C-alpha cells in the first residue's frame, strides 16, 4: 500500500492541481497541470527500483504526507462533484418556474397563460433619452416603415462586435412590455432556445434582478453584484433552496458569461434612493466592463438619474396592427386551451 501511495503521489499532486484549476476556472493552468499529470503518470509506471528506495524511506518517516494528500484529493473531488452536480441546471429550472407565466396588470387572472405562447416580440429603436415618448397610448402610423426598428436579439448579436451595445437602457411607458421582454429573455436562455430566436444569439447565463425588490439591500449595504445575485438566488424558494457553489456567479461575471438584466429603475420611487441605486448600477458596470447589461425604466425615471457609464438608449415601439392581431389571437387561443384542461387540437383552434 505504501509503495502504491508513494509511486502515485506525483500523479495525485498534479491531479489535485488540475482539479483545483478547474474549480477556479483557470483554464490555462488546468491545461498545464493536465500535461504534468500525464508526465507523472508515465514516471510512476516506469520508476522501477527508485520507487523501492522511496518506499523504504517512507517506512521510516510514516505516511502522514500521503494521507494528507489523499484527504486533499478527496476534498477536491467532492468539491468538483458538487460543482458538476447540476447547480446550473437547477438554477435554469428555477428561472423557468419564475418566468414561465404571463403576468398581467388589471386583466382577468382566473387563468394563468404561458408566456412563451402569448409573447409577441417587441420592436425597439435607438433614440436619445430626451426624445422618447412617455405616453401610454400612442398613435401608430401603419403606413410608416422605420428601418431602424429591431428586436432585442439584433442588439445582443451586434454587441459581439460593437462593445457599445453591451450597455443598453430600454425605455418605455408603463405597460409597454419592458418587464415582459426581460422575463422572456430570461426564459429563452433558461430553456436554451436562444438560437431559435436568432441563429447568431450569444450564449449567456441570464441574471434577472427587479430593482424594486433589491432596492433596500443596495441602499443599505451597497453589495457587490455577485453577492447580491447569490442572496437573491438563495431566497427564491423555501423548498429545496438553491445554494450556489462558492464564487459561481463571481467567476462567470468576471469571464463575461452573464447577461445582467436590471428591471425597473423608475420603480424605485424615492428619488434619493433612485440616485443611490443608479450609482450602484454604474459601479457594477464599471467592475465588469465587458459583461452585457440591460436596464429598463420609464423615460422620466431614467432621465432624472441618467447613468454615468455610457449606455445606448432604446425605445419600445407600440404594437402595430399585425402585432395586435398576433397577440389577441394567441391570447384567446391559449385561454380556450386552458378552459379545456390543456386540450389543443384543430377543433379547439
Dump pLDDT digits (tens) for 255-303: 999 999 999 999 998 889 999 999 999 999 999 999 999 999 998 888 8
Q: What is the pLDDT of residue 135?
A: 56
Residue with more model confidence, 268 or 138: 268
What number is the average pLDDT over the span 110-120?
A: 87
43 band by pLDDT with thresholds 50, 70 and 90: very low
Residue with more model confidence, 46 or 238: 238
What secondary structure does DSSP assign to 127-179, as a single string? Answer: --GGGS---SS----TT---TT-B-HHHHHHHTTT-GGGGEEEEE--TTSSHH
What number is the average pLDDT over the span 119-138?
A: 68
pLDDT greater than 90 at residue 218: yes
Q: What is the pLDDT of residue 97?
A: 95
For cell 433596500, what's the residue? Answer: 216
Q: What is the pLDDT of residue 160?
A: 87
pLDDT greater than 50 at residue 221: yes
Residue 320 CB contacts under 8 Å (≥ 6 apart), including other chains: 123, 140, 142
pTM score over 0.85: no
Cα 129 to chain centroid, rounded:
27
Q: Which three cell numbers stand for residue 68?
A: 494528507
Q: What is the pLDDT of residue 149?
A: 81
Pairing, β 293-297 against β 167-171: parallel
What number is the average pLDDT over the span 300-321?
A: 84
5 band by pLDDT with thresholds 50, 70 and 90: very low
Q: What is the pLDDT of residue 304?
A: 81
Most confident of 107-111, 220-224, 319-323: 220-224
Amino acid at each position: 500500500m505504501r509503495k502504491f501511495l508513494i509511486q502515485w503521489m506525483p500523479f495525485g499532486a498534479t491531479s489535485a492541481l488540475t482539479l483545483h484549476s478547474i474549480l477556479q476556472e483557470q483554464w490555462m493552468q488546468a491545461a498545464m497541470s493536465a500535461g504534468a499529470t500525464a508526465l507523472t503518470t508515465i514516471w510512476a509506471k516506469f520508476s522501477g527500483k527508485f520507487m523501492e528506495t522511496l518506499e523504504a524511506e517512507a517506512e521510516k518517516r510514516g505516511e502522514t504526507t500521503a494521507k494528507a494528500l489523499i484527504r486533499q484529493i478527496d476534498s477536491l473531488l467532492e468539491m468538483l462533484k458538487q460543482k458538476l452536480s447540476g447547480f446550473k441546471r437547477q438554477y435554469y429550472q428555477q428561472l423557468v418556474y419564475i418566468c414561465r407565466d404571463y403576468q398581467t396588470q388589471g386583466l382577468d387572472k382566473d387563468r394563468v397563460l404561458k408566456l412563451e405562447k402569448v409573447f409577441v416580440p417587441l420592436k425597439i429603436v435607438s433614440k436619445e433619452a430626451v426624445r422618447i415618448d412617455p405616453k401610454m397610448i400612442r398613435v401608430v402610423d401603419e403606413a410608416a416603415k422605420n428601418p431602424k426598428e429591431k428586436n432585442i436579439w439584433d442588439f445582443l448579436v451586434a454587441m459581439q462586435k460593437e462593445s457599445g451595445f453591451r450597455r443598453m437602457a430600454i425605455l418605455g411607458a408603463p405597460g409597454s412590455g419592458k418587464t415582459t421582454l426581460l422575463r422572456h429573455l430570461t426564459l429563452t436562455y433558461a430553456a436554451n432556445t436562444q438560437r431559435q430566436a436568432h441563429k447568431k444569439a450569444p450564449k449567456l447565463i441570464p441574471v434577472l434582478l427587479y430593482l424594486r425588490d433589491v432596492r433596500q439591500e443596495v441602499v443599505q449595504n451597497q453589495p457587490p453584484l455577485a453577492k447580491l445575485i447569490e442572496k437573491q438566488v438563495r431566497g427564491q424558494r423555501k423548498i429545496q433552496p438553491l445554494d450556489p457553489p462558492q464564487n459561481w456567479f463571481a467567476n462567470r461575471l468576471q469571464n463575461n458569461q452573464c447577461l445582467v438584466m436590471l428591471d425597473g429603475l423608475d420603480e424605485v420611487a424615492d428619488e434619493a434612493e433612485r440616485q443611490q441605486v443608479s450609482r450602484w448600477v454604474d459601479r457594477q458596470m464599471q467592475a465588469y466592463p465587458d459583461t452585457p447589461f440591460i436596464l429598463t425604466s420609464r423615460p422620466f425615471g431614467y432621465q432624472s438619474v441618467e447613468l454615468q457609464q455610457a449606455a445606448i438608449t432604446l425605445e419600445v415601439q407600440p404594437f402595430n396592427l399585425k402585432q395586435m392581431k398576433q397577440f389577441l389571437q394567441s391570447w384567446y387561443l391559449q385561454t380556450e386551451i386552458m378552459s379545456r384542461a390543456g386540450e389543443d387540437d384543430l377543433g379547439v383552434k
